[in-house]
Amino acid sequence: MIAETVCSAVAAAGLGIAAVAAYRKRFLAAARLAAYSLVPLGLVMTGVVDWVADTAFSPTAWAGFGVLGVSWLLFVSTRAVERRRGGTRKERKAARAGQSEAIAPAASAPSLGQASRPAPRPAAAPRAGAGEDFSDIEAILKKHGI
């Protein structure tokens, strides 16, 4: 009851200010003020104010907001853990399938793949055009006084 009275008073005051603005030949501002002042009156007439008042003072509604908050926290935390582990469930299954293939069936320890151990580098054989590359580098170093 109090909310409806306050909203009606706000609407009446807004329409009064809009009338003063129209009297001063500020019709655009008066129309905008009238539009804003009619919003609370419309909310009262449609019943939105009653619904908000019933929701604000209802323990069941607040418990529902709490449940929604917990579900949101669970969703956010699971997404963070999923990102940290590296992907979706399908990607993890594919990674596990690839990991099991890397183990030799008769071996006592897992075999090492190419990515886990660096390959030895072959001895660098001098190339025919290697002298040209070094001459360019020497010219640059001489230019800078090194």
pLDDT in tens, 73-120: 999 998 888 888 776 677 777 777 776 655 555 656 555 555 555 556
Q: How many CB atoms lie within 10 A of CB 17?
A: 16
pLDDT digits (tens, 9 = 90+) for 33-81: 999 999 999 998 998 888 888 888 888 888 888 998 999 999 999 888 8
Check residues 67 and 132 and name the one with the higher pLDDT: 67
Report if pTM > 0.85.
no
How far is the C-alpha of 12 from the C-alpha of 38, rounded, in Å?
A: 9
